[in-house]
A and B are shown apart, each in its own frame.
Chain A
Amino acid sequence: MNHQPFEQWLFSEEPLSPDQSRALQAHLETCESCRQLSAAWSGVQTLFEEVTPIEPSPGFTIRWRARQKAQLRQERYKKERQQSWITLMVSIAGAVLFLGLMVTQIFATVEMPTQLLFIWIFRVTDFVSMIIAAGDLMVTIMDITFGLVAPVYWAAVAAGLGLLSLLWIFSLHQVFQHRRITP
């Protein structure tokens, strides 16, 4: 038996014309399977209409607020981490750029890198020579001075300087000592 268009009409929500309704009714009177299908669909509709809505367990809004706060915290933490990484990357990029500029500047001012090395070696040797000359001068001054002043006076000066140093150390100790504050 051909069940179309009756099956189509059974499950259509569009209102049927009077002729279509009559044809469907006539078909249902003769067709057992379509009659069962129609009854089944009525049963489903009735069940859908009568079933009560399911409600969430009490405290749904409170739980939602807690979940929202947790999510906001997580997002804030993620954002802070991202910002830290960006700051770090920018700093590193800035440092690399600065270093690169410095290197290019240095290389631009000298003809060859070895020339710069020799300049620095000469400067260091000059400095060392200056220190040695200053040392020689101090020795000469001390020789002349020790000849003019008696050793006992030198000893007194040294002892006085020593006592002053001890006093200074003691006073520093007093200043930086941890004090217990009593209520």
Chain B
Amino acid sequence: MTVLQFAGFRENAVQINGTEYLSNALRGDPESFSQLVESYQTAVYNLCYRMLGDPYEAEDAAQETFLRAYKSLRHYDKKRSFSTWLLSIAAHHCIDQLRRRRMTMVPLENLPYQELRDPTPNPEVTLSISEEQQRVRKLLTSLNPTDRAAVVMYYWYDFSYNEIADSLQITLSAVKSRLHRARKELAQLWMEQHSQYSQAERIRHESPAV
């Protein structure tokens, strides 16, 4: 799914659920809120996973996000998009979790690098889905929590600069500056990853056939 399609998902979710379920949930219907959980779970979970990089932590953070949203539903401003509000809660919670992390993180470079088997002598290597996810996780982990949140919101959820500023409670110029810095860091890390990957591929092709 492309970023544009995923951004479209957000719009569809709002259109399908933004009227009936949300209205009933605001009137205090718990079943309607459960329907909202069903509708937005992928969006929230995906954001939490991109932020935290671990599926269990992401599940916990996503669950906590919906609990907080449920508790503070009476404070929800109807003029604001529900998905923006919900994803802001998720982003804030994830940023707090990242700052609270005390355990030593094992650098991703030390994890075993899984190479794909390429039975054909085609130089174009097709990355598996898990490989893609690992690369994305590696890239995002290099960013500080707030920059990471800004990148995830901008590229996965199609947030505008103003929405990012509002969600992260920073100024518009801070958003632009953070995104600019993050793009450069990501590009530099990509170059490092690519050179490592190319070297590994070269070694694999140069090794004698068994």
Contact = CB atoms under 8 A, between A and B. Distances in A.
Interface of A: 7-8, 10-13, 36-37, 40-41, 43-45, 47-57, 60-61, 63-65, 67-68, 71
B3 A41 contact: no
Interface of B is mostly: helix
A13 B179 contact: yes
A55 B45 contact: yes
A68 B70 contact: yes
Contacts of A41: 183, 186-187, 190
Given A37-B191, A56-B62, A64-B63, A48 B3 contact: yes
Contacts, number: 99
Contact of A60 (B59, B67, B184): B59
B194 A12 contact: no
B193 to A, nearest CB: 9
Interface stretch (B117-125, B133-141, B166-174): B133-141
Contacts of B188: 37, 40
Contact of B139 (A12, A44, A53): A44
Contacts of A43: 190, 194
6 pairs of A and B residues whose beta carbons are closest in the complex? A11-B183, A40-B187, A41-B187, A40-B190, A56-B45, A53-B46
A7 to B, nearest CB: 7
Nearest to A7: B184
A56 B42 contact: yes
Interface of B: 1-4, 6, 9, 34, 37-38, 41-43, 45-46, 49-50, 55, 58-59, 62-63, 66-67, 70, 129, 132-133, 135-136, 139, 155-156, 179-180, 183-184, 186-188, 190-191, 194
Contacts of B139: 44, 47
A47 B187 contact: no
Given A41-B186, A41-B187, A54 B59 contact: no
Contact of A63 (B2, B63, B186): B63
Contact of B1 (A52, A60, A63, A68): A52
Given A40-B191, A47-B136, A56-B59, A68 B67 contact: yes
Nearest to A65: B34
A67 B67 contact: yes
B180 A11 contact: yes
